[in-house]
Amino acid sequence: MIQKTSWGVGLTAIFMLIILFGPWIAPMDPNVVDLSKRLQLPSAEHWLGTDQLGRDQLSRILTGGQMTVGISLMALGLSIMVGVPIGLFAGYLGGRVDWALMRLVDAFMAFPEYIVAIVISGLLGAGFFNLMFAILIVKWVGYARLVRSVVLQEKSKDYLLVAKISGAGSYTTLRRHLIPHVIGPVLALATLDIGKVILLVASLSYIGLGVQPPHPEWGSMLNEGRAYFTQASYLMIVPGMAIFLVVFVMNLLGNRLVEKFGSDRQEEGRDGITECS
């Protein structure tokens, strides 16, 4: 199991490095159009071939990673920054605040993620920030709920009562006792969510509601090349494979982290049986 953990971490590190330095590794300018070289099969000059406008596919994949994964990470970070405080307040304050916040959460949870994201990004119009906003709207709820449940669990324990009797104020209680308990589960949920968010970003871009051409982004590359798939199937295989591999590695890592932090699931972890996400 130790070996497997390092596999996930190692692969993630390699992928992250490739994505981070992708634009500098890219052999050519991803946006240079050369119609004389359109739809070329993979060759020594263009390792992954060229697209319908003669752009180098390898360079577009390498630069596009920053867009796809970057947007996903930023959107997820925003969701955590919104969801965690709301969950902390709801759980810690309790009473009417909790009731009102949880009804708000219920209303958001009443709709499937994809549908909300599609409606919001569609109505706001395609684009970088609108896409992030749509994902924020969809994702903060999960973190608020998770944090609230952790806080409620901890609140009932005796040590918090002792802390209160010893004169710890709300700020100290939150900072010293509650937030440390929240970090592990939030991290575990976040690693499991990254893959889902990447899939969401790519799907929205594929439908045409996310990142717009000519920016290289894996989902919108699939959208752009759609008409040429029958002639040049590598145009379809390569960007999809990139999405699949990154999400796969993230899920691998996420499963390990959940085993580590999800104390409720120790039973399953002990048997050495790997989990599906």
Q: What is the DSSP string of 210-273?
A: SSPTTS--HHHHHHHGGGGTTT-THHHHHHHHHHHHHHHHHHHHHHHHHHHH-GGGHHHHHTTP
**Whole-number Å distance between alpha carbons of 204 and 79:** 18
Contact indicator for 57, 238 with CB cutoff of 8 Å: yes
Smallest gap, in angstroms, from Cβ of residue 90 to other proteins? Answer: 17
Residue ranges in contact with other proteins by CB under 8 A: 103, 106-107, 110-115, 118-120, 122-125, 195, 199, 202-203, 206-209, 219, 222, 229-230, 233, 236-237, 240, 243-244, 247-248, 250-252, 255, 268, 271, 273-277
- Looking at the Cβ atoms of 84 and 221, the one nearer to other proteins is 221
- Looking at the Cβ atoms of 88 and 139, the one nearer to other proteins is 139
Smallest gap, in angstroms, from Cβ of residue 114 to other proteins? Answer: 3
Smallest gap, in angstroms, from Cβ of residue 95 to other proteins? Answer: 18
Smallest gap, in angstroms, from Cβ of residue 84 to other proteins? Answer: 23
- Looking at the Cβ atoms of 29 and 106, the one nearer to other proteins is 106
Smallest gap, in angstroms, from Cβ of residue 111 to other proteins? Answer: 6
**Whole-number Å distance between alpha carbons of 275 and 256:** 9
β-sheet bridge partners, residue 56 = 50
**Whole-number Å distance between alpha carbons of 200 and 113:** 9
- Looking at the Cβ atoms of 114 and 179, the one nearer to other proteins is 114
38 phi and psi angles, rounded to 5 deg: -70, 150
- Looking at the Cβ atoms of 21 and 229, the one nearer to other proteins is 229
Smallest gap, in angstroms, from Cβ of residue 31 to other proteins? Answer: 23
The per-residue b/e assignment along 141-150, b for 16 or more CB within 10 angstroms, e otherwise, is bbbbbbbbeb
- Looking at the Cβ atoms of 187 and 236, the one nearer to other proteins is 236
What is the 8-class DSSP label of residue 110?
T
What is the 8-class DSSP label of residue 274?
P
**Whole-number Å distance between alpha carbons of 154 and 91:** 10
Smallest gap, in angstroms, from Cβ of residue 125 to other proteins? Answer: 7
- Looking at the Cβ atoms of 83 and 239, the one nearer to other proteins is 239
